[in-house]
Amino acid sequence: EKEPQWGEDGSPISEIRKIQRTIRRRSWKNISISVILAAILLTVSVFGIIPWAESLYWNPDEAAYRDCTDLEVTLNAYTELFAPGYNSILVTHHRTGFASYELQIHLASNAQDEVLTARGSLERNVLHLDDFLVSPEGKNYPISRRILPDVPPTPSETEALRVQLRSLPDYVRLEAAVTFSEDLSMEELVTFWENAMQHSMDITWVAVRSVESTFEPLERIRLNKWIPQCGMDPFTGGKVYPGVDLDYRYYNKPDSFEPEQLEQHFISLLQYSADQLEKGRGIAHYGDEELYAEILDYVEENGVKTYGVVVTATPKTLLELLDRDSIYDIRLTDCWIDIG
């Protein structure tokens, strides 16, 4: 039987089939073009748009100075200011998603020869830090007179400490928070440090009067503005960040313990931290983005003064220190056997 030459509508079947073949070819061609375009868009997104979009966020590899990242310097300043007894010396990270990173923050103890590790994360410009960085090992370094007026230790508390110190052997090394009866200038602090060195006492952190401490505490709580425990560690060395000193004088540890160098070191830590925060690359301590500026204004008006220090010393040295009129109180925070 012969194949019909005409369709039901009177159209030639051969022409219909040609049209059908043309439609099928065009369909496959359109599908191929769509697949190619999708592949191109995916490639552009992976190698172009996504990296560009991520560049708008804080990258932990950004480095304004040689041999160190901005994140390393920022965390170094932060730990010196707010984590007594520890300094951040190295930050490692790995990417976990879009503009997101897990961090490992390696810290050196100023009192003992050890390196500890804290964790954190950086997620689209938001830096989350382990509580370890705020209060290492749960220690809050109870330096008194941070808020004035302060309740002084009772005679019985002082006598109990005296008895405890007398009972400890000389091979024990103690860490203690020492509070001064009155705030000391940096010149007076240097004199105290020189005397401490003669008695094998090391100063591992200096608490700096950073805000108006007679401000009504309840009013500060209402404003969500806490009086911070803020300070510096100018005496125990630390990692050096080349080039930072060119923009922030004495950011690195001072090369000599002149009072003006100690003052400038503290101011540079604050100024660097404030500048990084303004760039969206910094750390707001407890979420207070105005804190650095507030402290800078305070020390500019009142000078850099200390109300206490964290020290390591023998029980005998602390016992002698306890009897000085210039000492408000001493509170022990740690101890270990000194095998050196």
The answer to whether the pTM exceeds 0.75 is: yes
- On the question of pLDDT at 44 being above 90, the answer is no
For residues 77-91, give the mean pLDDT.
87
Q: How many residues are recorded in the chain?
A: 340
Amino acid at 328: Y
Q: Which residue did the predictor score with more confidence, 228 or 15?
A: 228
The pLDDT score that the predictor gives to residue 12 is 58
**C-beta neighbour count of 277 within 10 angstroms:** 19
Identify the weakest region by mean pLDDT among 7-11, 84-88, 154-158: 7-11
- Please name every residue paired with 129 in a beta bridge, in sequence order, or none if there are none: 120
- On the question of pLDDT at 30 being above 50, the answer is yes
For 219-233, b where at least 16 C-beta lie within 10 A, e where not — what string? ebeeeebeebbbbbb
pLDDT in tens, 213-223: 665 555 555 55
The pLDDT score that the predictor gives to residue 28 is 62
The pLDDT score that the predictor gives to residue 136 is 45
Rounded-to-integer distance, Cα 170 and Cα 328, Å:
24
- On the question of pLDDT at 83 being above 90, the answer is no
The pLDDT score that the predictor gives to residue 24 is 60
Q: Which residue did the predictor score with more confidence, 14 or 102?
A: 102
For residues 190-219, give the mean pLDDT.
83
- On the question of pLDDT at 6 being above 90, the answer is no
pLDDT in tens, 154-194: 999 999 999 999 999 989 999 999 999 999 999 999 999 99
Q: Which residue did the predictor score with more confidence, 248 or 286?
A: 248
pLDDT-based confidence at residue 240 (cuts at 50, 70, 90)? confident
For residue 259, give the H/E element and its range: helix 259-278
For residues 38-44, give the mean pLDDT.
62
Rounded-to-integer distance, Cα 210 and Cα 309, Å:
14
CA distances 49 to 46, 57, 123, Å, are 7, 13, 19
- On the question of pLDDT at 48 being above 60, the answer is no
The pLDDT score that the predictor gives to residue 218 is 53
The pLDDT score that the predictor gives to residue 269 is 95
Backbone angles phi, psi at 175, to 5 degrees: -110, 135
| Element counts in the chain: helices (H) and strands (E) | 10, 9
The pLDDT score that the predictor gives to residue 303 is 95
> Which strands, in side-by-side order, build the sheet including 305-313?
231-232, 202-208, 305-313, 172-185, 327-337
The pLDDT score that the predictor gives to residue 177 is 93
- On the question of pLDDT at 109 being above 90, the answer is no
The pLDDT score that the predictor gives to residue 134 is 54
pLDDT-based confidence at residue 89 (cuts at 50, 70, 90)? confident
Q: Which residue did the predictor score with more confidence, 225 or 274?
A: 274
The pLDDT score that the predictor gives to residue 2 is 44
Q: Which residue did the predictor score with more confidence, 147 or 230?
A: 230
pLDDT-based confidence at residue 295 (cuts at 50, 70, 90)? very high
Q: Contact, 111 vs 175, CB < 8 A?
A: yes
Range of 115-124, 163-172, 221-230, 286-295 with top mean pLDDT: 163-172
pLDDT in tens, 297-331: 999 999 999 999 999 999 999 999 999 999 999 99
Rounded-to-integer distance, Cα 30 and Cα 263, Å:
72
